[in-house]
Amino acid sequence: MEFFLVHLSKYLFIAILFMSSTHATVSGIPSLDLEAKKISSNDIRAAKNLEDFYWSFRRRDTRSIKFNLARFKARKSKELKPYYELLKMGSRLHFKMKPRKITSCPKIDSRDNIWRSYTSLYKSKCESHNVNAVFKAKTLKDKGRNYLKNNFSLFSTYRNQKKLIRALKAWPKPDQQFVGNLLKDAVYQNKKLPHHSLLSYINIDPDFTLFIQKNRLFDKKNRGYITKEFTQLVKNFKSLYLKGKDDQAKEYLQNAISFYEQNSEHIDDSKAWLLFVTSGKKIARRDDFELAVDLFKLSEKTADEDQLFESKFQTLFSFYRDRELEKARSFIRNEELLDKFSLINSKLRFWIARIYEESKEYKRAKELYLEQIKTNPLSFYSILSLKNLRQLNPNYEVSLMVDAQEPNLNVSLQKELIKKATLFNIFELANTKTLSNFQAYDLRRLSANKFFKGLSTEESFKLKPYFLIRFFSGNQSHLHSFKVAYTNLNKGVIKLNNLVIKSLFPQKYRKRIQKAAPNIEDRVILSLIRQESAFNEKAKSVVGARGLMQIMPATGRQFKRNLRTKHLYSPQLNIKIGTKYLENLLRNYEGNLVFALAAYNAGPGNVRKWQKSIPFTEDVLTNVELIPFKETRKYVKLIYRNLFFYSLLDGSFDRLDFPVNNSFQIALNDEAKH
């Protein structure tokens, strides 16, 4: 028998906002011997005042602070009553912070995440106020000097250094000398020079000069100059090479390498790595794989751990594209990548396995594909690994990836968990997203032995993530559910089972999608919405895309005249416009999912440029890896991953058994096929 969580339906409690006497049962799994908590309309309204106070304090809005404090008190919410003291603390601090006056700042209170977050805000605003009070002073008095000395790290941040420079120009010489000594002490302590404009206030004696030389300290201006010089050498090489001036180009490359070796301590490694890798990719497009590999190997000298995996992948991928499979296997052996197989990332693991498969070393390829699936079952590359395994032997089942056993959640909850779950539901019903995020963090951080009655610590630890996944997904709080699932899958705490898959791939709005887009497989639209907005109809991106399918206003107006931006938050209209736009892209690219999704994410203009400049092939996986934008490359992979799992939930194995190229092809029909 399958046990389900009894969760609090948001829609059931719309009436709470209008009926003060209404109560309801808390969301959660069945509690056998604890009385269910009650939620009242006063709780909902108080939650709104609690969150509004947070943002009022951030803005230093006196009127709003007074209003929300008074209204919060008047609500008389039993569940939120403890936070009245928290708001009073913030209100008192707000009125104590007066211009040019240094105030005693509160400490961070960690009794729960709301207290921690609010008191952290209070402390931050108070410290910022005190720093500005010191800067505004015409001269440093004892209180100002003591605060500056005891909190000098606040004054020497990148954000405050320019303010400090302006203040020093106005302060008398004794104050300048006092700050100069503090700057000098900071250099000795941190082994880092301040902004070059502050160096003139430091008494630079022989010992200080020797310290700078011994520790090879250079200010950012000098480091920036050296990095810029190196960047220009690499750019000159790339420009000459692409113009066909090979001899001159290779001379510039050798100069760049020598320059880097002589000045490596003062060159930004991340910039150097990016220069080598992007140059290598452009050269590989011209089929000069030998020179490209040289650049990728150079990039390893400047790489951190993640970048190192990418450098090695680019080398391996170059051998693969050049069909130098023996060189590829030799590279794998020399780099001992099989010994490190479980430590490297999914992409590199998959391509190593594929190289062995195409080299007809099938036994080893199978072992590596199986290891990839075991290590990260939710990965795009694990899906491809399973597909390739089934091409080698149809007896390999989805059970390699998906665990058949589901956890038994028919257990009793402890009081502390019920209390925290109740608060989360209050914040969700009040649509106070800031508080919901704070409370979700608190639930995730709550010790496993405070979750369930009658279970050992080990049993509670294993069951906790499954409870949270179902709890959050039952509340339609998908991002929180995703976070718990991803974190615990990556740590190996939970297995990818039906419960986890259902929570990771919601099917909300499916009927609406089927009605709006009868010519497109509805799973494609679900997969896209899952990635674009996580089913948050109010989602807004940094570039201004809005709603479920993240439609830009300009795109929306192509399909609906007189469209106002706020209309894009309507699920019905957003899906109607988004599906029509995606259908047009699929028709333009003849059902090619890679190019259609790339155009949806990066724009059709960029895809046209890529098709002209990049040597795309008939191998769709190679084409995916050749997409220049990292974000778009990842986007295509993740939506394909989503599409696979939505198909799995529907009991469809077509995408698993289609050849890889075919599985990236979408058929458009005049009639719906669902």
How many residues are present in the chain? 674
User: For 428-459, how does the pLDDT look when each residue is reduced to its tens digit (9 = 90+)?
Assistant: 999 999 999 999 999 999 999 999 999 999 99
Mean of pLDDT values over 403-421:
91
Report the distance separating Cα 280 and Cα 295, nearest Å. 5
pLDDT of residue 13: 28
Which has more confidence, 635 or 410? 635
Determine the 3-state secondary structure of 39 from DSSP. coil
Residue with tokens 């909850």: 413
pLDDT of residue 263: 83
Helix axes 113-136, 84-96, angle to 10 degrees: 0
User: For 375-400, how does the pLDDT look when each residue is reduced to its tens digit (9 = 90+)?
Assistant: 999 999 999 999 999 989 888 888 88
Answer whether 220-322 and 510-663 agree in fold: no
pLDDT of residue 15: 27
Q: What is the pTM of this model?
A: 0.85
| In the chain, domain spans | 44-214, 220-322, 510-663
Band the pLDDT of 17: cuts 50, 70, 90: very low
pLDDT of residue 6: 32
pLDDT of residue 218: 64
pLDDT of residue 449: 94
Closest CA to 103 of 86, 128, 121: 128
User: For 550-596, how does the pLDDT look when each residue is reduced to its tens digit (9 = 90+)?
Assistant: 999 999 999 998 899 999 999 999 999 999 999 999 999 999 999 99
**35 pLDDT higher than 90:** no
Band the pLDDT of 259: cuts 50, 70, 90: confident
From the CB of residue 618, how many other CB atoms can be counted at a distance below 10 Å?
A: 7
- Beta-bridge partners for 546: 540, 551
pLDDT of residue 223: 67
Helix, strand, coil percentages in the chain from 3-state DSSP, rounded to 5: 70, 0, 30
User: For 276-315, how does the pLDDT look when each residue is reduced to its tens digit (9 = 90+)?
Assistant: 999 999 999 888 999 999 999 999 989 998 899 999 999 9
Report the distance separating Cα 109 and Cα 119, nearest Å. 6
**3 pLDDT higher than 80:** no
- Interacting residues of 634 by C-beta distance below 8 A, sequence separation 6+: none
**CA-CA distances (angstroms) from residue 299 to 231, 289, 329, 356?**
14, 15, 20, 25
**220 pLDDT higher than 90:** no
**225 pLDDT higher than 90:** no
Closest CA to 79 of 11, 23, 14, 15: 23
Specify whether the CB–CB gap between 605 and 555 falls below 8 A. no
Long-range pairs, 594-602, Cβ under 8 A, ≥24: 594/620, 594/623, 594/624, 594/627, 594/636, 594/664, 596/666, 597/528, 597/635, 597/636, 597/639, 598/627, 598/632, 598/635, 598/636, 600/528, 601/629, 601/631, 601/632, 601/635, 601/636, 602/629, 602/631, 602/632
Q: What is the DSSP string of 598-667?
A: HHHHH-HHHHHHHHHHS---S-HHHHHHH-S-HHHHHHHHHHHHHHHHHHHHTT--HHHHS-HHHHTB--
Catalytic residue chosen out of the listed positions 532, 537, 590, 625? 532
**467 pLDDT higher than 60:** yes
User: For 149-198, how does the pLDDT look when each residue is reduced to its tens digit (9 = 90+)?
Assistant: 999 999 988 888 889 999 999 999 999 999 999 999 999 998 888 888 88
Q: What is the DSSP string of 549-574?
A: TTB-HHHHHTTSTT--GGGGG-HHHH
Question: Which one-letter amino acid corresponds to residue 21?
Answer: S
**21 pLDDT higher than 50:** no
Mean of pLDDT values over 106-131:
96
Both structure tokens of 388: 């390739």
Percentage of residues in the chain having pLDDT higher than 70: 93
**609 pLDDT higher than 90:** yes
pLDDT of residue 381: 97
pLDDT of residue 19: 29
Specify whether 357 is catalytic: no
**36 pLDDT higher than 70:** no
pLDDT of residue 158: 82
Specify whether the CB–CB gap between 25 and 7 falls below 8 A. no
Report the distance separating Cα 383 and Cα 403, nearest Å. 15
pLDDT of residue 100: 83
User: For 487-543, how does the pLDDT look when each residue is reduced to its tens digit (9 = 90+)?
Assistant: 999 888 999 999 999 999 999 999 999 999 999 999 999 999 999 999 999 999 989
Specify whether the CB–CB gap between 140 and 178 falls below 8 A. yes
Mean of pLDDT values over 614-643:
95
In CATH, what number does 510-663 get?
1.10.530.10
The pair phi, psi for residue 452, each rounded to 5°, is -125, 150
Which has more confidence, 116 or 270? 116
Average pLDDT, the chain: 89
- Beta-bridge partners for 551: 546
- Interacting residues of 644 by C-beta distance below 8 A, sequence separation 6+: 383, 655, 656
- H or E stretch at 257: helix 246-263
Band the pLDDT of 219: cuts 50, 70, 90: low
Percentage of residues in the chain having pLDDT higher than 90: 69
Both structure tokens of 100: 């040019």
Mean of pLDDT values over 5-26:
30
pLDDT of residue 447: 95
**CA-CA distances (angstroms) from residue 559 to 538, 563, 600?**
20, 9, 15
Instruction: Please tell me the least confidently modeled range out of 29-43, 278-292, 356-370.
Output: 29-43
Handedness of CA 337, 341, 344, 350 (dihedral sign): positive
Instruction: Please tell me the least confidently modeled range out of 42-56, 226-240, 562-576, 600-614.
Output: 226-240
The pair phi, psi for residue 301, each rounded to 5°, is -70, -20
Closest CA to 60 of 84, 96, 85: 96
Domain 220-322 matching CATH 1.10.3470: the answer reads: no
Report the distance separating Cα 476 and Cα 10, nearest Å. 9
**101 pLDDT higher than 50:** yes
Specify whether the CB–CB gap between 238 and 279 falls below 8 A. yes
pLDDT of residue 670: 60
